[in-house]
Copies of this chain bind each other. A is one copy, B any other.
Amino acid sequence: MTKFGRHDDKTLIDLMVESSLRALEDAGASEKNVDAVYAASMLAGELNNRVAIGSALVDQLALIPAAADRVENGPASGGSAIKNAYCGIACGMYDTVLVTGGEKMRHVPGETITDYIATMTNIEAEYVHGVTLPSLAGMLTRLYMERYGLTEEDLARVAVKNHLNGSKNPYAHIQQPIALEGIYGSPEAEVNNPMIADPIRMYHCCPVTDGAASVLLCATEKAKEFTDTPIRIAGIGQATDKMAVQDRKDPAVLEALRVSAAQAFKMSKTTPQDMSLAELHDAFTILEIVESEDAGFFKKGAGSKALRDGVTALEGRLPINPSGGLKARGHPVGATGVAQVVELTWQLRGEADKRQVKNAKRGFSCNLGGFANNILAFVLERS
């Protein structure tokens, strides 16, 4: 990974080259080893005036004539790229594939970044009425409060946990721990943590971040050529749901996560209880709670209690987002799905330093496209 944060002096391609070279170096791989490149980005054309970034990346990395494609699936672009790279290897077309996700989104031509992000909502039912992602998250939060007794304190606790984890991650955008009182239930909280989309406040949203992340995938039988600590993609799932939240059977249920997570667990012959940790897609704090339930870790409505009880803390039974998550590590949208897999890899190798989850054997990640209408789920394990 690159450090996630603000990178005024680098282009999107610069960032993607940087994380790519780190991945290649980590594996001791050279240009002779790479058969194909998958580049993931949601808004390369819109924000950075670049299309066909797979071609640019393969050129800059001197990997020609390797195949190169860009995969785009909104904020799940990184997850989709990994899935397609996996298929390229699993079908025998490629032995070794580099996957790099990146986004440079702090410089926005013309409109606001929120508007660009909203172009992934349903155009007739949502976008034209001014629906944005924070507004959808606000409505989901309100529903959860009514139905399951979720409180604003619970939301704040997700942020507190993930900021604490992020403070131990040198790659995180925000490495500053925050106290609960700083963002909830105090006079200073009113100032520090303004309302964005009722009841969502600033600290319930991920920051806007530049960054890139890469993984090198290869056929299982080749892995020992590159590392003594290969990590295996044991399960992959992907499922879609109605694009417009109003069209979903129950807007409080992430059905696409239920389906994709079940696929990933089935393929890996594991259950949620087998996971040592999880990297969830907390673009908004509410999402971490809902995902922790719909991925199968906790019963519906029980996610906030698990959080309050410390189950999902770094030293808990199921640490969630030891990296800091999207909330603190940051969310360069095209990079996120790859960054989650990078974090799982480091954790499973025991290389996560101060944020290391003890005895990490298996990890789960989920990467949300749209407002949870296209979800990738992964199970990784030590091999």
Residues of A within 8 A of B (CB): 11, 13, 36, 42-43, 45-46, 49-52, 54-56, 58-59, 63-74, 80, 83-84, 86-93, 119-120, 122-123, 236, 238-244, 255-256, 259, 369-370, 373-374
Contacts and interface: CB of A to CB of B under 8 A. Distances in A.
A-B residue pairs, 4 tightest by C-beta:
A90-B91, A52-B74, A91-B91, A67-B238
A59 B243 contact: yes
B88 A84 contact: yes
A119 B374 contact: no
Contacts of A56: 122-123, 243
Given A45-B46, A91-B91, A119-B49, A242 B73 contact: no
Contacts of A43: 45, 51
Given A72-B70, A92-B90, A52 B370 contact: yes
6 contacts: A45-B46, A55-B120, A68-B73, A71-B71, A87-B91, A90-B91
A56 B69 CA distance: 21
A272 to B, nearest CB: 19
Contacts of A42: 51-52
B87 A55 contact: no
A88 to B, nearest CB: 5
Contacts of A370: 52, 55
Describe A's contact surface by its main secondary structure: mixed
A120 B239 CA distance: 31
B374 A243 contact: no
Contact of A242 (B46, B64, B236, B373): B64
A87 B69 CA distance: 13
Given A58-B240, A243-B56, A51 B74 contact: yes
Copies of this chain present in the complex amount to: 2
B119 A64 contact: no
A80 B72 contact: no
Contacts of A52: 42, 72-74, 120, 369-370, 374
A265 to B, nearest CB: 16
A69 B71 contact: yes
A134 B90 CA distance: 39
A72 B72 contact: yes
B59 A239 contact: no
Contacts of A93: 87, 90, 236
A135 to B, nearest CB: 18
A239 B36 CA distance: 9
B90 A255 contact: no
Nearest to A39: B72
Contact of A374 (B49, B55, B74, B373): B55
B68 A119 contact: no
A236 B36 CA distance: 14
Contacts of A92: 90-91
Given A55-B73, A84-B87, A119-B50, A67 B240 contact: yes
A86 B88 CA distance: 9
Contact of A259 (B58, B65, B68): B65
A51 B119 contact: yes
A72 to B, nearest CB: 4
A54 B49 CA distance: 21
B66 A240 contact: yes
B240 A120 contact: no
Given A65-B259, A66-B239, A84-B87, 8 more contacts: A11-B123, A43-B51, A50-B120, A55-B369, A56-B122, A64-B239, A67-B83, A87-B88
